[in-house]
Amino acid sequence: MPKSALSFVCQNCGAAYNRWQGKCDACGEWNTLAEEDITGATTMPVSIRSKRKGRLFTLETLTGQTQDAPRLSSGMTELDRVTGGGFVRGSVLLVGGDPGIGKSTLLTQATSLLARAGHRAVYISGEEAVAQVRLRAERLGLADAPVQLAAETSVEDIVATLSEGTVPRLVVIDSIQTMWTDTVESAPGTVTQVRTSAQALIRFAKKSGAALILVGHVTKDGQIAGPRVVEHMVDAVLSFEGEGSQQFRILRAVKNRFGPTDEIGVFEMTGLGLREVSNPSELFLSERDLGSPGTAVFAGIEGTRPVLVELQALVAPTSLGTPRRAVVGWDSSRLSMVLAVLEAHCGVKLSGHDVYFNVAGGLRINEPAADLAAAAALVSSLTNAQLPTDAVYFGEISLSGAVRPVAQTSARLKEAAKLGFGRAVLPESTRGDVGGDAGLSLNTVAGLTTLVADIAARGQSRSGKATDPEKNATPARFRRQDG
């Protein structure tokens, strides 16, 4: 009896099993196994398996002539920044993100701009009808762009159509989950279909030299066959993020064979589509609660760009046995570490308090340099002492309570000065890096204890003389920038 071709495939990671089980051993997800017919995907007909000896090819050295990958600018600076300077010919990009975040909007804008610039740009929608895509383009004011549009889902038909005429410079497939190919039996949307369809499309891109963008939905529960399996096959993976309730959208490279992965592109979703935000600091600081306790401005670096962002902390006595620690936009173990250092070295008792921590604007911070600003926000909230409204903070905190230097001090200071800040609180050992005139007054701290004492003193003097106008006034420099 022939072995059954049916198999159970994890819809999260693509691992295959020959019987059903509740948990995938490979990725640890529960309830992600689905029955699939993977005949065509895994076994090749005997007639194709050849008996010939392998072809000989020449092996190269690492040195030698290299050409820069030919790039095509998308016409959107923020998108180009994340891809590393534009779309590379024959490369494949996967754009992931939650449904409704704005992937189709972003790619409609990008294809339209390319088409307007005279390139052949194709947009294939497997989710929406042509009329819906047209409506969106109209809303974006791009209806006149000569984009080639289709609502198709058959990979064979798509590849055949694209192979006709001049090679397209950009092909958008929205989304890869809706694509299906005749070569495998599984239902559209299953891992096997997604993987095989992606393979066929990628083969077309590599052969023709067209840049290909695949859109993929990511759901946390792993219900839709994730683009996870596709991630390994593509050249770059971009993730489009943002809080649904907020207007900001951040495009981030998770993987990039042709460029850096630490750059972010910042967009704002408006009624007229995505607007590029070339100065993110203004965005992340625009709605500051000037001078309320628990907020500190962090002078950070995203990729090559300095970004000023507000950190917010709320420290409140707990009513639970185990105090709550809730973090949005920062690493929770990093927060625990800062809290532990505050307790151990600075005598700040936080074990009886709930701690809530938030990075404003939906940004996600990965830099250790945020430690000092986070600590300042936490202590400020605990002591109810407002921090100076014209100060920025940066520096890494070590477990011993020392404040360690971080890279790119002058870029951070320049951005702060540009936005009207008057002083910076920074690690003592970086003073040398600053050079001559930093444009703002520098308040260096060697250890976290100094910072805590400073903030606590502010709180006390404020509660002593609550009406002191000097202390609570918004500094003139910041007022001008804010107004």
Residues that bind ligand TYD (CB under 6 A): 97, 99-105, 136, 139-140, 269, 271-273
Nearest residue (CB) to Mg ion, 104 versus 281:
104
CB of residue 20 to Mg ion, shortest distance in Å = 32
Type of residue at 121: A
> Residue 373 is inside which H or E element, if any?
helix 371-383
Nearest residue (CB) to ligand TYD, 105 versus 186:
105
Pick one of ligand TYD, Mg ion, none as the site partner of residue 95 (Cβ within 5 to 8 A by kind): none
Nearest residue (CB) to Mg ion, 95 versus 211:
95
3-state secondary structure of 91: coil
Token pair of 47, please?
């007639």
Closest residue to Mg ion in the complex (CB): 104
Nearest residue (CB) to ligand TYD, 273 versus 294:
273
CB of residue 135 to ligand TYD, shortest distance in Å = 9
Part in contact with Mg ion (CB under 5 A); list of ranges 102-110, 332-340, 437-445, 463-471: 102-110
Comparing CA positions, the residue from 269, 304, 283, 319 lying closest to residue 101 is: 269
Using CB under 5 A as the binding rule, whether residue 108 contacts Mg ion is answered as: no
CB of residue 151 to ligand TYD, shortest distance in Å = 14
Nearest residue (CB) to ligand TYD, 140 versus 453:
140
Nearest residue (CB) to ligand TYD, 269 versus 445:
269
Nearest residue (CB) to ligand TYD, 69 versus 140:
140
Are the beta carbons of 310 and 285 closer than 8 angstroms? yes
Nearest residue (CB) to ligand TYD, 91 versus 105:
105
Are the beta carbons of 407 and 396 closer than 8 angstroms? no
CB of residue 397 to ligand TYD, shortest distance in Å = 38
CB of residue 107 to ligand TYD, shortest distance in Å = 8
Token pair of 391, please?
């100060």
CB of residue 116 to ligand TYD, shortest distance in Å = 18
Instruction: Tell me the backbone φ, ψ of residue 413, rounded to 5 degrees.
Output: -65, -40
The end-to-end CA distance of the chain, in Å, is: 80
| 113-128: burial string, b at 16+ Cβ within 10 Å, e else | bbbeeebbbbbbbbbe
Nearest residue (CB) to ligand TYD, 275 versus 364:
275
CB of residue 216 to ligand TYD, shortest distance in Å = 10
Pick one of Mg ion, ligand TYD, none as the site partner of residue 105 (Cβ within 5 to 8 A by kind): ligand TYD
Pick one of ligand TYD, Mg ion, none as the site partner of residue 99 (Cβ within 5 to 8 A by kind): ligand TYD
Pick one of ligand TYD, Mg ion, none as the site partner of residue 372 (Cβ within 5 to 8 A by kind): none
- Output the 3-class SS for 176-187: HHHCECCCCCCC
| 317-354: burial string, b at 16+ Cβ within 10 Å, e else | eeeeeebeeebebbeeebbebbbebbeebbebebeebb
Using CB under 5 A as the binding rule, whether residue 104 contacts Mg ion is answered as: yes
Token pair of 300, please?
């950070």
Pick one of Mg ion, ligand TYD, none as the site partner of residue 136 (Cβ within 5 to 8 A by kind): ligand TYD
Token pair of 257, please?
């064979």
How many other C-beta atoms are found inside a 10 Å radius of the C-beta of residue 188? Answer: 16
Part in contact with Mg ion (CB under 5 A); list of ranges 18-26, 104-112, 307-315, 317-325: 104-112
Pick one of ligand TYD, Mg ion, none as the site partner of residue 62 (Cβ within 5 to 8 A by kind): none
CB of residue 246 to ligand TYD, shortest distance in Å = 12
CA distance 182 to 292: 61
How many other C-beta atoms are found inside a 10 Å radius of the C-beta of residue 48? Answer: 6
CB of residue 272 to ligand TYD, shortest distance in Å = 6
Pick one of Mg ion, ligand TYD, none as the site partner of residue 355 (Cβ within 5 to 8 A by kind): none
CB of residue 228 to ligand TYD, shortest distance in Å = 18
CA distance 98 to 21: 28
> Residue 95 is inside which H or E element, if any?
strand 92-97
3-state secondary structure of 457: helix
| H runs (alpha helix) in 399-468 | 409-418, 448-464
Per CB under 5 A, residues contacting Mg ion are 104
